A and B are shown apart, each in its own frame.
Chain A
């Protein structure tokens, strides 16, 4: 009896280790664009400017049931005049095959700096929005979106 229980314990134990390895392998395989890739993209745009917080808002659902089409809006607190306006807002995601999502190009003619689209998210991940203002200042925000069914096919 004693040995049989021991063997069973050993079996369960091994099973756990194998399953653990399998999961680790999967996670390793799907971690393609990561936070570091997004950071590098942001660095490329920002250069030696200082990234500030505030002014930019990223609207996305806390939980997205379908990662194939996740509604996302960005808005920036800006008077949108010829002298003081938002030029660009870049959107990145750190859990997709590639970090780039889109770039919105604004003009003072927009009146209010707001734009909306629908994006693909392969899994639960962080979405980033980086605003470039006409005076050269840059503002960054991010939020996590939980994804129930991943997009991007495959």
Chain B
């Protein structure tokens, strides 16, 4: 399997202080549910992203627990109130313990 590739979209332009922005994330991952069988009838073992976390300047701002009912290539979007400029850090945790990360900077309009 190709290594999961995380992608993140945040406003590129400086954000007025106090404004609420939408943060969109996507990671390439099969999200194998553990419910499917291969051609021989053997169950394909479950392998999903089970946890997503986002911190802003080190503080946890949003998290999500994922179950097999989340589609392949999980898309997750949430809001963030920008009180100060800083850096978003994202973390996706795989069933096998792998952790995939990505960062995004937010600028504040002066």
Interface residues of A (CB under 8 A from B): 68-70, 80, 93, 96-98, 100-107, 109-121, 151-154
Q: Are the CB atoms of B70 and A120 closer together than 8 Å?
A: yes
Q: Among B72, B76, B78, which residue has the most Cβ atoms of chain A within 10 A?
A: B78
- Across the interface, which residues of B come within 8 angstroms of A151, CB to CB? 71
Within the assembled complex, what's the spacing in Å between the Cα atoms of A102 and B70? 7
Beyond A113-B79, A117-B77, list 8 extra A-B contacts (CB 8 Å).
A104-B64, A104-B78, A106-B62, A110-B61, A110-B80, A112-B81, A120-B71, A153-B33
- Across the interface, which residues of B come within 8 angstroms of A70, CB to CB? 71
- Across the interface, which residues of A come within 8 angstroms of B77, CB to CB? 115-117
Q: Are the CB atoms of A68 and B71 closer together than 8 Å?
A: yes
Q: Among B33, B37, B59, which residue has the most Cβ atoms of chain A within 10 A?
A: B33
> What are 9 residue pairs bridging A and B, where the CB atoms are less than 8 Å apart in the complex?
A93-B69, A97-B33, A102-B67, A107-B60, A110-B20, A110-B62, A112-B20, A117-B64, A154-B35
Interface residues of B (CB under 8 A from A): 20, 22, 33, 35-37, 56, 59-72, 74-81
Q: Are the CB atoms of B69 and A107 closer together than 8 Å?
A: no
Q: Of all chain A residues, which has the CB nearest B31?
A: A120
Given contacts A96-B69, A103-B64, A105-B62, contact A117 B75 (CB under 8 A): yes
- Across the interface, which residues of B come within 8 angstroms of A110, CB to CB? 20, 61-62, 78-81
Q: Are the CB atoms of A120 and B74 closer together than 8 Å?
A: no
Q: Are the CB atoms of B64 and A112 closer together than 8 Å?
A: no
Within the assembled complex, what's the spacing in Å between the Cα atoms of A101 and B60? 22
Q: Are the CB atoms of A119 and B78 closer together than 8 Å?
A: no
Within the assembled complex, what's the spacing in Å between the Cα atoms of A113 and B33? 28
Within the assembled complex, what's the spacing in Å between the Cα atoms of A48 and B80? 32
- Across the interface, which residues of A come within 8 angstroms of B66, CB to CB? 102
